[in-house]
Protein backbone atom coordinates (compact mmCIF):
# COMPACT_ATOMS: atom_id res chain seq x y z
CA UNK A 1 0.00 0.00 0.00
CA UNK A 2 1.64 3.39 -1.16
CA UNK A 3 1.46 6.42 1.07
CA UNK A 4 -0.40 9.52 -0.27
CA UNK A 5 1.17 12.96 -0.41
CA UNK A 6 -0.52 15.87 1.27
CA UNK A 7 -0.91 18.72 -1.16
CA UNK A 8 -0.41 21.24 1.67
CA UNK A 9 2.94 19.71 2.34
CA UNK A 10 4.24 20.07 -1.24
CA UNK A 11 7.19 22.28 -0.64
CA UNK A 12 8.15 22.75 -4.29
CA UNK A 13 4.75 23.99 -5.27
CA UNK A 14 4.53 26.36 -2.33
CA UNK A 15 7.98 27.88 -2.99
CA UNK A 16 7.02 28.87 -6.51
CA UNK A 17 3.93 30.57 -5.20
CA UNK A 18 5.91 32.53 -2.66
CA UNK A 19 8.40 33.57 -5.30
CA UNK A 20 5.77 35.09 -7.58
CA UNK A 21 4.12 36.84 -4.71
CA UNK A 22 7.43 38.37 -3.65
CA UNK A 23 8.25 39.55 -7.16
CA UNK A 24 4.85 41.17 -7.44
CA UNK A 25 5.40 43.03 -4.18
CA UNK A 26 8.86 44.23 -5.17
CA UNK A 27 7.66 45.53 -8.53
CA UNK A 28 4.77 47.31 -6.86
CA UNK A 29 7.09 49.02 -4.40
CA UNK A 30 9.45 50.04 -7.18
CA UNK A 31 6.62 51.55 -9.18
CA UNK A 32 5.36 53.49 -6.20
CA UNK A 33 8.87 54.75 -5.45
CA UNK A 34 9.37 56.06 -8.99
CA UNK A 35 6.06 57.90 -9.02
CA UNK A 36 6.31 59.26 -5.50
CA UNK A 37 6.42 63.11 -5.29
CA UNK A 38 7.71 65.02 -2.32
CA UNK A 39 6.13 68.39 -1.45
CA UNK A 40 7.76 70.99 0.77
CA UNK A 41 6.15 73.89 2.52
CA UNK A 42 7.17 77.34 1.25
CA UNK A 43 7.19 78.69 4.81
CA UNK A 44 9.82 76.25 5.91
CA UNK A 45 12.70 76.91 3.44
CA UNK A 46 14.22 80.16 2.14
CA UNK A 47 15.77 79.19 -1.18
CA UNK A 48 17.07 82.67 -2.08
CA UNK A 49 19.51 83.10 0.83
CA UNK A 50 21.21 81.15 3.49
CA UNK A 51 21.00 82.50 7.00
CA UNK A 52 23.98 81.78 9.15
CA UNK A 53 23.79 82.07 12.86
CA UNK A 54 26.70 84.22 13.90
CA UNK A 55 26.73 82.70 17.35
CA UNK A 56 27.77 79.43 15.81
CA UNK A 57 30.83 80.91 14.07
CA UNK A 58 33.93 79.98 15.91
CA UNK A 59 36.40 82.81 16.17
CA UNK A 60 39.92 81.93 15.16
CA UNK A 61 42.22 82.82 18.00
CA UNK A 62 45.13 85.18 17.14
CA UNK A 63 48.53 83.82 17.80
CA UNK A 64 50.85 86.30 19.45
CA UNK A 65 54.46 85.48 18.83
CA UNK A 66 56.90 87.03 21.20
CA UNK A 67 60.25 87.65 19.56
CA UNK A 68 63.29 87.28 21.70
CA UNK A 69 64.91 90.53 22.80
CA UNK A 70 67.89 91.55 20.66
CA UNK A 71 71.19 90.82 22.29
CA UNK A 72 72.53 93.77 24.19
CA UNK A 73 75.86 95.08 22.85
CA UNK A 74 78.73 94.26 25.01
CA UNK A 75 80.24 97.41 26.41
CA UNK A 76 83.83 96.88 27.21
CA UNK A 77 84.81 98.70 30.27
CA UNK A 78 87.93 100.84 29.84
CA UNK A 79 91.04 99.37 31.28
CA UNK A 80 91.87 100.53 34.68
CA UNK A 81 94.96 102.65 34.86
CA UNK A 82 96.78 102.31 38.06
CA UNK A 83 99.20 105.03 38.97
CA UNK A 84 102.12 103.54 40.71
CA UNK A 85 103.55 105.66 43.40
CA UNK A 86 107.13 106.60 42.85
CA UNK A 87 109.16 105.72 45.82
CA UNK A 88 111.91 108.08 44.84
CA UNK A 89 111.33 111.61 46.01
CA UNK A 90 112.33 114.42 43.70
CA UNK A 91 114.10 117.18 45.45
CA UNK A 92 112.96 120.60 44.38
CA UNK A 93 115.60 123.21 43.84
CA UNK A 94 114.73 126.47 45.51
CA UNK A 95 116.41 129.54 44.09
CA UNK A 96 116.68 132.39 46.50
CA UNK A 97 117.07 135.99 45.55
CA UNK A 98 120.47 136.11 47.22
CA UNK A 99 121.82 133.52 44.76
CA UNK A 100 121.65 135.99 41.86
CA UNK A 101 124.77 138.01 41.31
CA UNK A 102 123.65 141.58 40.89
CA UNK A 103 127.00 142.51 39.37
CA UNK A 104 126.58 140.16 36.41
CA UNK A 105 126.73 142.16 33.21
CA UNK A 106 124.02 141.54 30.66
CA UNK A 107 125.36 141.94 27.16
CA UNK A 108 123.42 144.19 24.84
CA UNK A 109 121.46 142.52 22.10
CA UNK A 110 123.00 143.29 18.78
CA UNK A 111 120.80 145.28 16.49
CA UNK A 112 119.22 143.15 13.79
CA UNK A 113 119.39 144.57 10.36
CA UNK A 114 116.18 144.20 8.40
CA UNK A 115 117.09 143.12 4.92
CA UNK A 116 114.67 144.48 2.41
CA UNK A 117 113.56 142.39 -0.49
CA UNK A 118 116.06 142.51 -3.30
CA UNK A 119 114.92 144.78 -6.07
CA UNK A 120 115.65 143.36 -9.52
CA UNK A 121 118.22 145.25 -11.54
CA UNK A 122 115.93 145.21 -14.58
CA UNK A 123 112.13 145.34 -14.77
CA UNK A 124 110.04 145.44 -17.99
CA UNK A 125 108.10 148.59 -18.86
CA UNK A 126 104.70 146.95 -18.28
CA UNK A 127 105.67 145.75 -14.76
CA UNK A 128 107.60 148.70 -13.37
CA UNK A 129 105.93 150.72 -10.62
CA UNK A 130 107.07 154.07 -12.00
CA UNK A 131 107.79 154.01 -15.73
CA UNK A 132 110.48 156.20 -17.33
CA UNK A 133 109.25 159.73 -18.07
CA UNK A 134 109.68 161.23 -21.51
CA UNK A 135 110.55 164.95 -21.55
CA UNK A 136 107.30 166.88 -21.62
CA UNK A 137 105.31 164.25 -19.65
CA UNK A 138 106.38 165.36 -16.18
CA UNK A 139 103.20 167.29 -15.51
CA UNK A 140 100.87 164.31 -16.01
CA UNK A 141 99.09 163.59 -12.72
CA UNK A 142 98.69 159.80 -12.79
CA UNK A 143 100.99 156.94 -13.66
CA UNK A 144 98.65 155.80 -16.41
CA UNK A 145 98.71 159.23 -18.05
CA UNK A 146 102.51 159.34 -17.88
CA UNK A 147 102.75 155.97 -19.64
CA UNK A 148 100.34 157.06 -22.38
CA UNK A 149 102.31 160.30 -22.82
CA UNK A 150 105.55 158.29 -23.07
CA UNK A 151 104.21 156.23 -25.97
CA UNK A 152 102.81 159.27 -27.78
CA UNK A 153 106.15 161.09 -27.56
CA UNK A 154 107.94 157.99 -28.82
CA UNK A 155 105.78 157.88 -31.97
CA UNK A 156 106.31 161.61 -32.56
CA UNK A 157 110.07 161.15 -32.24
CA UNK A 158 110.09 158.30 -34.78
CA UNK A 159 108.03 160.22 -37.35
CA UNK A 160 110.19 163.33 -36.91
CA UNK A 161 113.51 161.53 -37.40
CA UNK A 162 112.41 158.89 -39.94
CA UNK A 163 114.33 158.67 -43.25
CA UNK A 164 113.88 155.88 -45.76
CA UNK A 165 117.29 154.38 -46.67
CA UNK A 166 118.25 154.99 -50.35
CA UNK A 167 119.50 151.41 -50.74
CA UNK A 168 116.19 150.07 -49.47
CA UNK A 169 114.28 152.33 -51.85
CA UNK A 170 116.36 151.19 -54.82
CA UNK A 171 115.86 147.54 -53.86
CA UNK A 172 112.18 148.06 -53.06
CA UNK A 173 112.63 146.78 -49.50
CA UNK A 174 109.75 147.04 -47.06
CA UNK A 175 108.99 145.50 -43.72
CA UNK A 176 108.92 145.90 -39.99
CA UNK A 177 111.89 146.19 -37.68
CA UNK A 178 111.33 145.10 -34.09
CA UNK A 179 113.35 147.32 -31.76
CA UNK A 180 114.18 146.69 -28.09
CA UNK A 181 116.19 149.19 -26.09
CA UNK A 182 116.85 149.79 -22.40
CA UNK A 183 116.40 152.97 -20.42
CA UNK A 184 119.39 152.88 -18.08
CA UNK A 185 119.38 153.87 -14.40
CA UNK A 186 120.61 157.35 -15.33
CA UNK A 187 117.94 157.80 -18.03
CA UNK A 188 120.25 157.22 -21.01
CA UNK A 189 119.42 154.84 -23.88
CA UNK A 190 121.47 151.67 -24.37
CA UNK A 191 121.47 147.97 -25.27
CA UNK A 192 119.66 148.49 -28.58
CA UNK A 193 118.59 145.21 -30.26
CA UNK A 194 117.00 145.02 -33.68
CA UNK A 195 115.47 142.41 -35.94
CA UNK A 196 114.23 143.21 -39.43
CA UNK A 197 114.08 142.01 -43.05
CA UNK A 198 117.27 143.86 -44.15
CA UNK A 199 120.38 145.37 -42.60
CA UNK A 200 119.72 148.81 -44.11
CA UNK A 201 116.33 148.98 -42.40
CA UNK A 202 117.83 147.87 -39.08
CA UNK A 203 120.53 150.57 -39.24
CA UNK A 204 117.94 153.28 -39.86
CA UNK A 205 115.86 152.06 -36.88
CA UNK A 206 118.96 152.09 -34.66
CA UNK A 207 119.78 155.65 -35.76
CA UNK A 208 116.27 156.84 -34.84
CA UNK A 209 116.42 155.27 -31.35
CA UNK A 210 119.92 156.64 -30.69
CA UNK A 211 118.57 160.19 -31.13
CA UNK A 212 116.15 159.82 -28.20
CA UNK A 213 116.60 162.48 -25.52
CA UNK A 214 117.66 161.61 -22.00
CA UNK A 215 114.70 160.36 -19.97
CA UNK A 216 113.87 160.20 -16.31
CA UNK A 217 114.73 156.63 -15.23
CA UNK A 218 112.11 154.14 -14.13
CA UNK A 219 111.85 153.39 -10.43
CA UNK A 220 110.82 150.40 -8.35
CA UNK A 221 109.93 151.36 -4.75
CA UNK A 222 111.82 154.60 -5.27
CA UNK A 223 114.99 152.92 -6.58
CA UNK A 224 116.12 153.55 -10.20
CA UNK A 225 116.26 150.36 -12.29
CA UNK A 226 116.86 149.44 -15.90
CA UNK A 227 113.69 149.34 -17.99
CA UNK A 228 113.56 147.47 -21.34
CA UNK A 229 111.11 148.87 -23.88
CA UNK A 230 110.08 147.45 -27.26
CA UNK A 231 108.49 149.17 -30.25
CA UNK A 232 108.09 148.17 -33.94
CA UNK A 233 109.13 150.54 -36.75
CA UNK A 234 107.47 149.83 -40.10
CA UNK A 235 109.10 150.77 -43.42
CA UNK A 236 106.72 151.12 -46.36
CA UNK A 237 107.25 152.66 -49.81
CA UNK A 238 104.62 155.02 -51.19
179 within a domain of the structure (yes/no)? yes
Q: What is the largest CA-CA distance in the chain?
A: 202
- The residue among 212, 222, 228 whose CA lies nearest residue 136 is 212
Q: Is residue 159 part of a domain?
A: yes
Distance CA 187, CA 225 (A): 10
Under-70 pLDDT residues of the chain: 1-14, 36-117
For 6, the 3-state DSSP assignment is coil
Task: Specify if 227 maps to a domain.
Answer: yes
CATH of the domain at 171: 3.30.1150
**Cβ–Cβ under 8 Å, residues 186 and 217:** yes
pLDDT value at residue 91? 52
Domain count, the chain: 1
Instruction: Please say whether the beta carbons of 131 and 149 come within 8 A.
Output: no
pLDDT score for 17? 76
Q: How far is 24 from 31, CA to CA, in rounded Å? A: 11
What's the Cα-to-Cα distance from 216 to each of 16, 169, 183, rounded to whole Å? 170, 36, 9
At 19 the pLDDT is 80
34 in a structural domain:
no
Q: What is the pTM of this model?
A: 0.50
What pLDDT, on the 0 to 100 scale, is given for residue 212? Answer: 94
Q: Is residue 32 part of a domain?
A: no
- What's the N-to-C CA distance of the chain in angstroms? 194
- The answer as to whether 172 is a domain residue is yes
Residue 163 belongs to some domain of the structure = yes
Domain that holds residue 167: 143-235
91 within some domain: no
Amino acid sequence: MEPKKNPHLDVKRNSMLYFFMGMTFVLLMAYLALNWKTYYSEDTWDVGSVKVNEDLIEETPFLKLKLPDPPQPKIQSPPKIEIAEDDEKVEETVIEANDVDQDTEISDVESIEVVEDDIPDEIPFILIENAPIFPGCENESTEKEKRECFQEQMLKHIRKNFRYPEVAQEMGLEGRVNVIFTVQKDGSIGDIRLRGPHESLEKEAARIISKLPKLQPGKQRGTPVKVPYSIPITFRLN
